[in-house]
Amino acid sequence: MESLEMTSYKKFLFLCLALIECIPMSSMANSAPAPLVGIKRIVFLGDSITQAGDYVTDIECWLLSQGQQIEVIDVGLSSETATDLLPEENADHLKKYGFPRPSVSARLDRTLAATKPDLVVACYGMNDASGLPNNAAGLKRYSEAITRLRDAAFQAGAKQVVLCTPPIHDSPHKPDPHEENLVAFSQWLVSKRADGWTVVDIHSPMRRELDEIRKTNPSFQFQPDGVHPDRNGHWVMAREILTQFLGADLGTSTSAESFFPSNGPAIRTLVDQRRLTLFSAYMGHIGHTRPGVPGGPEQKAAPTLSEATAQAAQITEKISPLLK
């Protein structure tokens, strides 16, 4: 005859097993961070830094390393501004490159309609800072443009909008009106947290880290041309979005490759290939006025969305066994 204690233990064990069976399998796998609950598609908007996309790929690699199958679409556009620049503010760019800087307002509605984002991550300011006057009027125009972008994303059905402060402008010339504008833009964006905005500060951490490194390595740069971050600079961007927005514990990771115990370089290469495949198709579908980018004037036809989706699925099939 079983003791009373043994009978009670068996009842307890049976109850535990019954409760486990009631838990959905999805919740026993890697659960999504709270900001990603209900998020199936993330769309990145921005200028040439976002079009280059290394930080986007790094973030997507982290998602994969956490078991999160979320679609990521990069539709950043080189030279683009959030602000509608005046002709005289665009004159230097027109003279140097043969075309004015495009504004996201010209394609925003089409972009949101085509991509249907659950979450929008936007990073603008580098090009706005070079075109807008370095004064209160310039800051006002930038802030109004960012507010319109945020409002449009929510109106299009986005559940969340994350706004990133722009990277630094690394110039040896002082004073640097371009960097002064970026500082003002960044301070304004961070202040909007008080109004419930989700803002990731990239500018301040990048400046602090650069200043610290230059104490022992004066020639170090995140941006060889002062504007466009290299892989190290993109890692800073990805790191700040992952930690500030998603609360990621990156430990000692210094690259997306290190997110995976094996096959890291191969996985990241394929993830980046998939990003570029979808980028070309979406930009070709959306259309814009910037030469030299799929969907722009005089560009050869990009793959259709259905073609790119099929190609992306093939790349995903190559990634899946590497993750295991």
pLDDT digits (tens, 9 = 90+) for 201-230: 999 999 999 999 999 999 999 999 999 999
Q: Are 138 and 148 in contact (CB under 8 A)?
A: no
pLDDT at position 53 = 98
The mean predicted confidence, pLDDT, of the chain is 91
Q: Is the pLDDT of residue 2 over 50?
A: no
Long-range pairs for 84-91: beta carbons < 8 A, 24 or more residues apart: 84/145, 85/128, 85/131, 85/132, 89/131, 89/132, 90/131
pTM of the shown model: 0.90
User: 206 vs 165, 179, 212, CA distance in Å?
Assistant: 11, 13, 10
DSSP code of 300? P
The alpha carbon of residue 257 and the mean position of all alpha carbons in its chain are separated, in whole angstroms, by 17
As a whole number of angstroms, the distance between CA 207 and CA 18 comes to 54
The dihedral region occupied by 30, where left means phi > 0, alpha psi between -120 and 50, and beta the remainder, is beta
pLDDT at position 31 = 77
H or E stretch including 271? helix 264-286
Q: Is the pLDDT of residue 13 over 50?
A: no
pLDDT band at 7 (very low <50, low <70, confident <90, very high): very low
Domain architecture of the chain: domains with CATH: 34-323 (3.40.50.1110)
Q: Is the pLDDT of residue 25 over 80?
A: no
pLDDT digits (tens, 9 = 90+) for 285-297: 999 999 999 999 9
pLDDT digits (tens, 9 = 90+) for 61-113: 999 999 999 999 999 999 999 999 999 999 999 999 999 999 999 999 999 99
Q: Is the pLDDT of residue 35 over 60?
A: yes
pLDDT digits (tens, 9 = 90+) for 114-142: 999 999 999 999 999 999 999 999 999 99
pLDDT at position 10 = 42
Tell me the average pLDDT across 297-308.
89
Neighbouring C-beta atoms of residue 298, cutoff 10 Å? 6
21-35, 58-72, 87-101, 232-246 — which is least confidently predicted? 21-35
The alpha carbon of residue 85 and the mean position of all alpha carbons in its chain are separated, in whole angstroms, by 24
DSSP code of 2? -
pLDDT band at 14 (very low <50, low <70, confident <90, very high): very low
H or E stretch including 43? strand 41-46
pLDDT at position 27 = 35
pLDDT at position 30 = 61
Widest CA span in the chain: 96
Contacts of 226 (CB under 8 A, 6+ apart): 169, 170, 171
